[in-house]
Amino acid sequence: MKPFTKYDRLKQKILYNLRSLGTLLAIILLVKNMIIQVNFGINEMMAMSYISENSQYRIHINLDEQIMYVYKNNELFKTYPVSGGKSNSPSPTGEWIIIHKSKWGGSFGGAWMGLNVPWGKYGIHGTNKPWAIGQQNVSGGCIRMKNEDVKELYGYIPHGTKVTIVHESRPFRNLKSGDIGSDVYKVQIALKSLGYFNNWCDGKYGENTKKAVLAYQKDANLAQTGIVNISTWKKLMKQYEDSLLE
C-alpha cells in the first residue's frame, strides 16, 4: 500500500473544503429562496439596511402637479419641478426607498438616485430635455429633474430616504398576463394579504398572479376571466382595505 504523502493530505483537505463550500452555498440558496417566499427580495433587504430611524428627509412627488416636495423633520424644506412617466410607461406610484446613488452623466444629468422598485430600474435623475420639466410627464417611468436641481438634491438626500409617488389622474387599465407596474403590485399585495397569493410581490402579472385572481373571482362571485377589470379591482381593494381595519 502506497504511503500517504503531504500532497495526498493537501488534496484531501482541498476536497473536504470544497464539499463544505458546496454545502454552504446550498444553504445560502435555500435561505435566499425562503426570504423571497416571505416577500423580501434582495432590493428590499438592501433598502431596509439603509433606513435610519433618525432620517431627516422624505420626498413626496405629485405627478398631477409635476412637483416634488422635500420635507425635512416633517416640515416643507424644498420644492422642485419634475416630469414623470408617459401613459404607456408610467412612473411607479407608491412608497419606495432610495437604495442607490451615483453620479451618472449624459442624459442622466450627473446624478442618479435609484428606487427599490421590484419590476424594473426606476429612479430620480437629470435630463437633456429640460423644457418638459414641470410641464408634462414624458419619461420612460423615471422622475426627471432639471440638472442643477437633481445635483442639489443628490448632495443632501441620503440612502434610505423614503419616496412617495402619486398620480391620481392616471386612468384605470384592465390588468392581464404580461402586464407590469404599480397596479399589478397593488393587486398582488391585496391578494397576498387575503390569502390568495403566496409568491413574491414583484409587480409582474405572471401565471401565479392569474391563478390567484381566478381563485379570488370565484370566491367573490365575479366572472372568472383571470383579468382584473374595474369590478374585480373595486371589490378586491375594498375587501383588502376592510381587512386592514380588523
Active site residues: 125, 142
Size of the chain, expressed as the number of residues it contains: 246
Alpha helices in the chain (DSSP H): 6-37, 42-50, 147-156, 182-193, 207-219, 230-245
Write the DSSP symbol of residue 205.
-
CA distances from residue 27 to 31, 33, 169 in whole angstroms, order as listed:
6, 10, 47
Q: Find out whether 153 and 113 touch, Cβ atoms under 8 Å.
A: yes
Burial class (CB in 10 A: 0-12, 13-18, 19+), 89: middle
Residue type, 147: N
CA distances from residue 180 to 92, 117, 164, 204, 215 in whole angstroms, order as listed:
10, 11, 19, 4, 20
Residue type, 231: S
Contact residues for 127 (Cβ-Cβ < 8 A; gap 6+): 83, 107, 109, 133, 144, 145, 146, 147
Say how far apart CA 204 and CA 176 lie, in whole Å: 10
